[in-house]
Structure 1
Amino acid sequence: MIHLIFGDSAIGSLKHALSEHNHKIIGFPIDFSIGPIRNVYENSGIKGYFTWLEYSFHTIWGNFEDNQTMFQQSLQKLEDIKHGDQVTIWTCENATEQIGLRIICNLLKEKQVEINVVNTYKAMSDYTKQKEVRIEIRHTGECNAEQLAHFYDFSIFQISDELTRILGQDGEKLLQSISIVRSWKQGEIIDELETRDDSFIMECVRKVHRKRQNTDFLNVTRVIGEVIGLSEQVVSDAWIEYRVRSLIHSGQLAYEGDLQSMRMYKIKDIK
């Protein structure tokens, strides 16, 4: 069995969950919901995506060069999949993993393979159905190894050739997209403006101001945490911090400190 999974945390947990099985795990470390993904399976598209990351995000968020190397290696492993192989794609109810599912189906369209899917959101719902505490997850990285091992045993479903074809067609369209931001809404991938989260970030800044009953400068990490916790979409701290700096540069937020690191500056609403 070959497993395909998205996100650093999820990759590590699945490797631990399946450590006693002789399975291959191919992990994709990038967030497909943000950044340019046009032809991201080709050298030109890969370079475009990681160039955008390096320009937009601070290096504090990770080693982009290592992630690029891992991504290219994963694409090569995907290319090496042979006719007749069994493939399981792990996904969840969010943009990055749903996009990943569709892109993988597109890249495997010429191969005669059995494709299975584990939707960890639905699997977690079934897992906790008879328990006192219900758990709703936003992405597979929130699952621990024990849960993923359970999902492997009980929540894998083979998808039909027709559904694989439809998902692959969606993936082909996504690989031609010129958008920078993509959302998961009502079961569909939606192209968004790069400013999608800006108004919500401003709402959260004002909310924190109200809680503190003052307009002093706020730790940007406090605001980022508020946004991530309340956002309808799964968003990363790197992305929100990038948008905070954009709001500063557009004159909607004031700041004090050094913008080179989110732990070195504070922000406040100008109004």
Structure 2
Amino acid sequence: MLAIRKATDSLEEEELRAYLRLILVQIERMKEEGAAPNTAITGLIELYDGLIALPDKKRIVWDPAPACTHVHIVIGDSFAGSMKQALKGLGWEEAHKLIVLRENYAIGPLADLDSPAGRTARSEWFGDNIMNGLEAYSTYEDEYMVLLGKLEQIPEQAELVVWTTRNACEQAGMRYALHLLRHKPNPLSVYDACAICEALYNRPDAITRYRHSGELPPSKLQAALVRMDGSGRLSGTDIAKLIEEWRAIAEQTGTLRIWRDGAVIGVPADYYDSYLLDKLDRLKPPAGDRGFLRSARLIGEALGYCEQYVGDEYFEYRLRTLIYNGVLEIKGVPAAMRFYSVRRKR
């Protein structure tokens, strides 16, 4: 499933449509051939093999055009998808290139990510605590090397633009990006697309507050892009300060971080446990289900009302911890949040 997700995430919208059409054609052939769908099955397997092999080539080879003027660095796949569409909509896709830091830097250990030991420790924590974390981080070392290769290939004339907003994931990620870019001579700016869009579109009777940049639609993101006016340009002193802040964040021994008073701070792993239990107590379970509530509904409620951006995977990890500690009872199998329900232990 991880390979399939990576394969499809790397494709443009029109490419996805083309693959879907080919799959439907093969299925139609299977229906027509009845009991002997050998040709169609062979075609589907070839399509699958080609699709799975494609992303590695796309990820490894990143060759900015000589006319590249900007390289945008974003945190998270969701924001990356919107940024791709926004750049394409503006007709900027040739001159403006994109690098994605895909991780959630609000959770997990961050110490010594420049070393194999530090990256292994982070990978093992996700494998031990986060659903599908072992699969997601099985290629962690390879992806890190690919990321370094992309950063190395940034043209000297390109302006670097790092995007962030008011959450621990993107703020820590932005500082980590500056750490990785510390030897690049390129001019560097930092912008907050969420803040720009809130200033543009919020009215007294209609206020939207974005918790992470992935919530922005491409149409609004375009408005933020055209307003890059140089105000986000960082001096050498600014960059050095933010890199030092990254080192301080990485030295924190905890595995959960929040954004408070303009800083990324570490909090205990059980910081949201009482919040989850309060949500559970307030929600009404379905009638006849003996007081059990679907974990997916509980986590969805917690995500919807949490002022911080943490991610559903961390809430699900803490929910399982509450089960292991005897605070909650479980009905079902915790293979994924949709497969089990919880209630207070009686």
**TM-score of the superposed pair, with normalisation by structure 2:** 0.72
Shift of residue 68, structure 1, vs aligned partner: 5.7
> Does residue 188 of structure 1 match 2:263?
yes
Which residue among 206, 212, 221 is the counterpart of 1:148?
221
Match of residue 104 from structure 2: 31
Amino acid at match of 2:181: L
Q: Which one has a larger percent strand, Structure 1 or Structure 2? A: 1
Q: Which residue of 2 aligns with 1:15?
A: 84
The code of the aligned residue for 2:119 comes to I
The one-letter code sitting in structure 2 at the alignment partner of 1:14 is M
- Closer, same or farther: CA 76–110 of 1 in aligned 2, 3 Å: same
Query: After TM superposition, what 4+ stretches of structure 1 lie above 6 angstroms from structure 2?
Result: none
Larger radius of gyration: 2
Q: Distance in 1 between matches of 2:239 and 2:304?
A: 33
**Identity between Structure 1 and Structure 2 (%):** 26
| 1:106 to 2:175 alignment | no
- Bigger relative CO (Cα 8 Å, ≥ 6 apart): 1
Equivalent residue letter for 2:148:
L
Could you tell me how far apart the structure 1 residues matched to 2:107 and 2:276 are?
17
Name the amino acid aligned to 2:297.
R
User: 1:250 matched to which residue of 2?
Assistant: 325
Q: Distance in 1 between matches of 2:314 and 2:323?
A: 14
Please name the residue that 1:120 is paired with. Answer: 193
**Inter-partner Cα distance in structure 2 for 1:61 and 1:239:** 14
Conserved in 2, the CA contact under 8 Å of 1:182 and 1:190? yes
Deviation per residue, 1:1-33 (Å, 9 max, x gap): 111000111011111111222222000110000
Paired residue total: 271
TM-score normalised by the chain length of structure 1: 0.90
Q: Distance in 2 between matches of 1:199 and 1:110?
A: 44
Match of 1:259 in 2: 334
| Secondary structure, aligned partner of 2:123 | helix
Structural RMSD (CA): 2.5
- Aligned counterpart for 1:201 among listed residues 261, 276, 286: 276
Q: Does structure 1 conserve the Cα–Cα contact (< 8 Å) formed by 2:279 and 2:301?
A: yes
* Cα 1:44–1:83 shift into 2, 3 Å: farther
Deviates more, 1:163-172 or 1:37-46: 37-46
Tell me, yes or no, if the aligned pair for 1:26 and 1:77 is still in contact at 8 Å: yes
What is the CA distance between 1:193 and its match in structure 2?
A: 1.0
Change (3 A) 1:148 1:103: same
Give the equivalent residue in structure 2 for 1:74.
147
Deviates further, 26-35 or 57-66: 57-66
1:89-131: CA deviation from partner (whole Å, max 9, x where unpaired): 0101000000011112222223222111121221121221469
Equivalents in 2 of 1:48, 1:61: separation in Å? 12
Deviation at 1:133, TM superposition (A): 3.0
Q: Partners in 1 of 2:168 and 2:219 — Cα distance?
A: 25
Instruction: Show structure 2 runs of 5+ residues with no match.
Output: 1-69
Displacement of 1:72 in angstroms is: 3.7
Partner of 1:233: 308
Alignment CA distance shift 1:260-1:26 (3 Å): same
Decide whether the 8 Å contact of 2:169 with 2:310 is kept in 1.
no
Alignment pair present for 1:134 and 2:203: no
Task: Please say if residues 128 and 134 of structure 2, whose CA atoms lie closer than 8 Å, have aligned partners that are also in contact.
Answer: no
